[in-house]
A and B are shown apart, each in its own frame.
Chain A
Amino acid sequence: MQISLTVNGKNYQVTPPPMKRLLDVLREDLALTGTKEGCGEGECGACTAIMDGVLVLTCMVPICQAAGKHVTTIEGLAADGKLHPLQQAFLEKGGAQCGICTPGMIIAAAYYLEHPDEAEDIGEALAGNQCRCTGYTRIFESVKAAGVWDEC
């Protein structure tokens, strides 16, 4: 089954089994390994990406559902060799420690940067992205520094 999808603005044709996870297609077929697997059951958020404007957990999306869709991953955030403001803020404010949750966390934050009304506060917004290193304080500060939820 041939599937066409756009990832970070670039069109790809892939021929995986239809139920192969979008996560595995990104990592194995497209060599975009920035998207991580932490649990494989949609709980930890390490595999978060944006698909057609919606936040998705790529471990829960079979590739057949991604046909024709536009996907943004961590590799698609920096533009012209310049870090996205969120990436810069995570760097400066200590939002990344071991780094394994960071791509998913930044993608989720980038989504809420565009959709600030969809969550009551920063804690609720990022509650689906688990981090075991930071205690979240510095992640909140990083996200605030990039302009999401100034007052919280």
Chain B
Amino acid sequence: MDTFQTIGKSLQRKEGIPKVNGQAVYADDIRLENCLHGKTVRSTVPHGRIKQIRFGGDIHWNEFTIVLPSDIPGKNAVTLIDTEQPFLAEREIRHVAEPIALIAHPDKELVKTAHHYIHVDVEPLPAVFTMDEALQLNHVFKSYLVQNGDPSERWSGADLIVEETYRTGAQEHLYIEPQAMIATAIQGEQVTVWGSMQCPYYVQKALAPLFGLDPERVRVVQTETGGGFGGKEEYPNMIAGHAALLSWKAGGRPVKMIYDRREDMWATTKRHPSKTHIKAGFKHDGTLAVLDIDFLLDGGAYPTLSSVVLSRGILHAAGPYKCDCTRVRGRVVMTNSVPYGAFRGFGAPQSIYAIEMHMNRSAQELGIDPAELRRRNFLHQGDQMPTGQVIQEEIDLEMMMDRALELSSYRRKRTEFEEFNKRGETHRRGIGLSVFFHGSGFTGSGESHIGSEVAMRLTGQGGVEVLAANVEYGQGTNTVLAQIAAEACRIPPDLVEIHQPDTAAVPNSGPTVASRTTMITGKLVERASLELRKRLLEPDDFTTAARQYLAKHGELKVLVRYEPPAEIHWDDETYRGEAYAAYAWSCDVAEVELDLIDCTARATKFVSVVECGRVINPLLAACQIEGGIAQGIGLALYENVVLEQGAMKNNQFTNYIIPTAADVPEIQVEFVEFPHSNPGPYQAKGIGEMPIDGPAPAIASAVAQTLGGRFINEIPVLPERILSEVESS
């Protein structure tokens, strides 16, 4: 039995006090002298050619700083995976809300007024808004195929074939702090931005070519960040570039760009809408014989991160089941919608929704309980996934599912609800489940490509400081990295300081995405800590040894770089190999109540059993799971992005509905630990994204029970969709 001083303890959030007393400094809280307020002029048509921009009205335009594409000193392209998306559209507009020009003025109110007097004349072009149209036109950004057999040869051997199509809509992140950035840019010299973001080095990479500067002349500092959920992965590149362009044009005056809520919801990325076709062949006993999945995503007008979202989507599409003949085809298409981007789960919630719905529906058609059907098909240690990856981890999905069934009284309730629903009351009850995994860290060879680095140094107090680029945005980076450093150095966690992410001070430990901070960056922190201990000659008393070292030598700083585990191999060409170095696993059970009068469904109880290796901080980990479940409940039942010309029409808190305090059910989270043979620090795996993968299929399947076994194959399960099922039954 391992004994730890700090790991496994529910320490308080490290930056907690300023967050509860109002002293935490978010971007919009920073006061600057001589500051300009920036705003973006955006297109109102989905596709067209820009003819001219007119500055009208009774506005003293000479008092404004105005940036047009011709003012851009370097390359007019947001450097991400590719360089297809411009900072400002120059000739062609590809979506509504696309940035065209920038204005700034010292008077914030005047900027808002003046903005209405800028007219962009556009020659409209035909626009595409559906995935089917895009496919017909062959507007495909990226496609992948994962295959371990040929399904066409296997259908005849199946006793039952179940074939369905599942759809998910866009989802808005709705972080409570909108996108926010401040910049100063001195021509030919230096660009500095401070703001709300997940990936400081992404911003640096995007801005250096924009200004034709070496990356080290672009300094990016993360301010306290009020939520992100993927929405502050790539979009901050755009707003940082805009703020910096305005400052550059204004001779280096600071420029603040804070989106109001409507602009934020209208113009920024969302979760990719999806359409998944699944054809599955089963034996009479429920054994999965053949599985053929076609996974389609709407990427919107520019590629952004769509190719990697697609990749994660297909690599989670077959679920935690063993099947020796699986084919997963994935495609992401281009439409004239506002570009879709990173959102917690990154393609996996869409494909997991489809496979888990399909398992529940197939169970019904086979006449087998959904839990029992899963039990007959679960992956075990030593089994192969469709990429050929052999599960090395110790994992016991039967045990996890049994625990979730027990905590939720699933069997009893499933029968009771069946009886209750026959009574003809005005409401119905249902219970449903999902079982799923989520790969920790970047897909395939991603971690090797970015080669993350973490530095640590001794502090005058005899403790250590962690220098990493991973940000705290509510999920617990500061606390978890401090706990790992404290444990490895053998010092109290109070003696660990975490440097604010700042590209001028911290090395590039990679982006704060992909459930990678604890597992990948945390491992680097552990290694750097051990290196410090080694340099101090493995002291019994670290603090005294550190002070003595500093008195004698002045400084001790170490830098460690990511090294892939020896057994991890991935082939980007064939999509074969170890897709992820480790997986976290989970089983959700959801109860719902359906009101037949207004056709609303609500979640009434939720159980989640989670395996994520060793839990570094049980309180913060549970917070992550519960928050992800709440977002998953929103995805399942409420969160409906209404699109008009490819842009969000209901772009307000008033009419985009997320779960409130009055809507969330009792949520029970239980961790089980199989902390062996995974490459994380103290055998910890990622946890941030997985909790949003499972709620939608569990809830939607519970709704199916309320409807007498009729499945609605689209989320969110809105009252309108329920009504049409009720009416047609």
Contact = CB atoms under 8 A, between A and B. Distances in A.
Given A41-B653, A127-B660, A132-B176, A83 B20 contact: yes
Nearest to A78: B21
B177 A36 contact: yes
A4 interface: no
B726 interface: no
A54 interface: no
Contact of B662 (A40, A41, A124): A124
| A interface, size bucket | 35 or more
A84 to B, nearest CB: 9
B73 interface: no
23 contacts: A31-B31, A34-B23, A35-B22, A43-B654, A44-B653, A74-B22, A83-B20, A87-B21, A91-B13, A96-B13, A97-B476, A98-B177, A98-B227, A99-B226, A101-B226, A124-B662, A129-B661, A134-B626, A135-B623, A135-B667, A136-B661, A137-B666, A138-B626
B630 A134 contact: yes
B98 interface: no
Contacts of B176: 36, 38, 44, 46, 98, 100-101, 130-132
Interface string B156-196: 00000000000000000111111000000000000000000
A6 interface: no
B224 interface: yes
Contacts of B475: 97, 133
The 4 closest A-B pairs by CB, nearest first: A34-B22, A98-B474, A100-B226, A99-B19
Contact of A103 (B22, B174, B228): B22
Nearest to A86: B20
Which of A87, A98, A127 neighbours the largest number of chain B CB atoms within 10 Å of its CB?
A98
B615 to A, nearest CB: 14
Contacts of A96: 13, 16, 19-20
A136 to B, nearest CB: 5
Contact of B261 (A33, A35, A41, A73): A41
Contacts of B619: 93-94, 138
A41 B654 contact: yes
A95 to B, nearest CB: 8
B357 to A, nearest CB: 23
Contacts of B276: none
Nearest to A107: B22
Contact of A133 (B31, B227, B622): B227
Interface in A35-80: 35-41, 43-44, 46, 73-75, 77-78
Contacts, number: 174
A113 to B, nearest CB: 15
Contacts of A34: 21-23
Contacts of B476: 97
Interface string B645-670: 00000001110001011111011000
A98 B622 contact: no
Contacts of A73: 22
Given A34-B21, A44-B176, A83-B21, A99 B627 contact: no
Contact of A38 (B177, B229, B663): B177
A97 B480 CA distance: 13
Given A41-B652, A123-B662, A132-B175, A100 B13 contact: no
A94 B622 contact: yes
A49 to B, nearest CB: 11
Interface in A101-129: 101-103, 106, 122-129
Given A38-B261, A130-B176, A135-B628, 5 more contacts: A33-B26, A74-B21, A97-B475, A98-B474, A135-B627
